[in-house]
Chain A
């Protein structure tokens, strides 16, 4: 707070601390806090409590602010009828795998591009970054055709977690983020290790990675949320009910399930990412704003 007071913004601090400016500021602040709470938290409140209402109560006019006769049964029904435990486990499994694959392969690649710099490294980096320009929807059909019959090995990856894990490794944003971070690690720090005869793997493991914990955390968190939020790709490559992710599973059941139960399931599906956000909000927000937008 103290540091904030030294930087001036659109309106000067002096103006906000005296007389009319002061009153105006407090009125505005209250208004903003109330409006934002209603706009961003209100719908979530409506969702959690709406799923507690009975079918009749949800259809009544005007809608009630509190559930008159709370029906926790809706949440129980959602859990059992949709087999949410299975769906959540699947999603969790895919997310964990995605984190591991991305951390291992993308870190290794970014380290090579930043510090080892082999022949053609620049070209490879350029080709990786070029994929950032290609919208996901354009690739969805040829990617699907590739996954159902992998070139050369002719393996069908449908319903295999690798169909989610491997395409996520091809994430140019991760490579860019990690490489930029590794670039900022001074060479001097590494030369000592190299002089002592440490192999590149050893240097990566005991010098580069310990320094890179914040950025690795950001990559991991974004990997989890990406898997948790993704819809179309898992819907296409995980067609069996046993392998579905939670979002796809809820969508598949939405047609023949009472609305309140669908909403209850949606609430449960959202809990893991919301909890993750509340725990790691600082890392997520700083990762988002340092994420290569300075160029």
Chain B
């Protein structure tokens, strides 16, 4: 990406043609060039200021805060104190365990299901628009609204609850849902998947439509059945999107927050719902420990960076 061309330097072949602004600038000399750059930066200033104040600076500040301690308005550097304190918190490991279990379960359910739903929808020749609208509808609901629905109606532990009524109707034992420590995570994954899968389905559908039909044709002539066509044509043809969405989903589910907050009142039965993000919220805004919360944020960033590194390695090797 060439930004400017110095006056007198001949354009090398193969470079993109200069924009009208830039060729005009070269003719008009230095004063004009400075002015054009100034115009460009004026257009940028609003967005850059917002990025600087609300993104770039907080990033640096978060790391700084994690090594500081503010008491009675005085900030001192305390080395790794915040980290040792936060790791010593008994909820620390529970929160990580819960977050990983949620991410893992969400990958099994929330990742495989949208892919197969997309394959299914792509095969249907009727009611396409209707089905797409249906799948995406929950994505448009405010999460708080949808989660109150799950909390009060679906996960009601008595037999008046929607899910328990269905279970009773088909002769299965009922569940206590959010009041049972073992059901808390699956229940949260179910609610979260219902709310969020629409986006993934639509993205997969778009990717499936780009697969050339000849590939299926050839596979069928070679005697490949439906399952083998999925494994040998559909999956390889969409692998980049599959990998990207896996990555995005891991990043999103690791930030699990509103599900425990609303469905489980935060920690849940026997701490079964506490997540890392909820712990950040607790430390930062209830225990008056913004520095500890910042340290936890940095730990989370490092863990997610680890996942990103694995993703980059895996996708780079495939090409």
Q: What residues of chain A have their CB less than 8 Å away from a CB belonging to chain B?
A: 1, 4-5, 7-13, 16, 28-29, 32-33, 36-37, 39-41, 43-44, 46-47, 50, 58-63, 104-106, 108-109, 111-113, 115-122, 124, 127-128, 131, 133-147, 150-151, 166-167, 169-170, 172, 175, 187, 190-191, 194-195, 199-200, 204, 225, 228-229, 231-232, 236, 246-248, 250-251, 254, 259, 262-263, 266-267, 269-270, 273-274, 276-278, 281, 284-285, 288-289, 293
Contact residues on B (Cβ < 8 Å of other chain), bracket: 35 or more
Contacting residues, chain A, for B284 (C-beta < 8 A): 140-141, 144
> Of B21, B217, B244, B298, which one neighbours A116 at CB under 8 angstroms?
B21
B36 touches A250 (CB 8 A): no
The count of A-to-B residue pairs whose CB atoms sit within 8 angstroms is 326
A67 to B76, CA, bound (A): 62
Query: Whole-angstrom distance from the CB of A12 to the nearest CB of chain B?
Result: 7
A167 touches B132 (CB 8 A): no
Contacting residues, chain A, for B145 (C-beta < 8 A): 247, 250, 266-267, 269-270
B62 touches A33 (CB 8 A): no
A12 to B211, CA, bound (A): 14
Q: With contacts A59-B160, A135-B251, A262-B148 known, is A285 near B132, CB below 8 A?
A: yes
| B56 (CB) vs chain A CBs: closest residue | A127
Interface residues of B in 169-191 (CB under 8 A from A): 169
B51 touches A142 (CB 8 A): no
> Of B44, B146, B226, which one neighbours A10 at CB under 8 angstroms?
B226
B59 is an interface residue with CB less than 8 A from chain A:
yes
> Of B142, B199, B255, which one neighbours A246 at CB under 8 angstroms?
B142
A289 touches B202 (CB 8 A): yes
Contacting residues, chain A, for B141 (C-beta < 8 A): 229, 270, 273-274
Q: What residues of chain B have their CB less than 8 Å away from a CB belonging to chain A?
A: 1, 3-4, 17, 19-22, 24, 36-41, 43-44, 46-48, 50-51, 53-59, 61-62, 65, 119-127, 130-138, 140-146, 148-149, 152-154, 158-162, 165, 168-169, 194, 199, 202-203, 205-209, 211, 213, 216-217, 220, 226, 229-230, 233-234, 241, 244, 251, 254-255, 257-258, 262, 276-277, 280-281, 284-285, 290, 293-294, 297-298, 300-301, 304-305, 308
Query: Whole-angstrom distance from the CB of B12 to the nearest CB of chain A?
Result: 17
Contacting residues, chain A, for B61 (C-beta < 8 A): 142, 145-146
> Of B143, B217, B255, which one neighbours A229 at CB under 8 angstroms?
B143
A134 touches B301 (CB 8 A): yes
A10 touches B234 (CB 8 A): yes
A229 to B140, CA, bound (A): 8
Contacting residues, chain A, for B146 (C-beta < 8 A): 266, 270
Query: Whole-angstrom distance from the CB of B152 to the nearest CB of chain A?
Result: 4
Q: Specify the main secondary structure of chain A where it touches its partner.
A: helix
| A267 (CB) vs chain B CBs: closest residue | B145
> Of A32, A147, A175, A266, which one neighbours B149 at CB under 8 angstroms?
A266
B19 touches A117 (CB 8 A): yes
Query: Whole-angstrom distance from the CB of B253 to the nearest CB of chain A?
Result: 11
> Of B56, B154, B281, B304, which one neighbours A232 at CB under 8 angstroms?
B281
A139 touches B59 (CB 8 A): yes
Query: Whole-angstrom distance from the CB of A295 to the nearest CB of chain B?
Result: 9
> Of B62, B121, B148, B241, which one neighbours A139 at CB under 8 angstroms?
B62
Contacting residues, chain A, for B24 (C-beta < 8 A): 194
| B304 (CB) vs chain A CBs: closest residue | A135
Contacting residues, chain A, for B226 (C-beta < 8 A): 10-11
Q: Can you report 14 A-B residue pairs in the complex whose CB atoms are below 8 A from each other?
A: A4-B125, A5-B125, A9-B123, A11-B226, A106-B47, A112-B44, A118-B44, A131-B59, A143-B54, A145-B290, A170-B51, A263-B149, A270-B140, A289-B202
Query: Whole-angstrom distance from the CB of A33 to the nearest CB of chain B?
Result: 5
> Of A46, A169, A247, which one neighbours B50 at CB under 8 angstroms?
A169
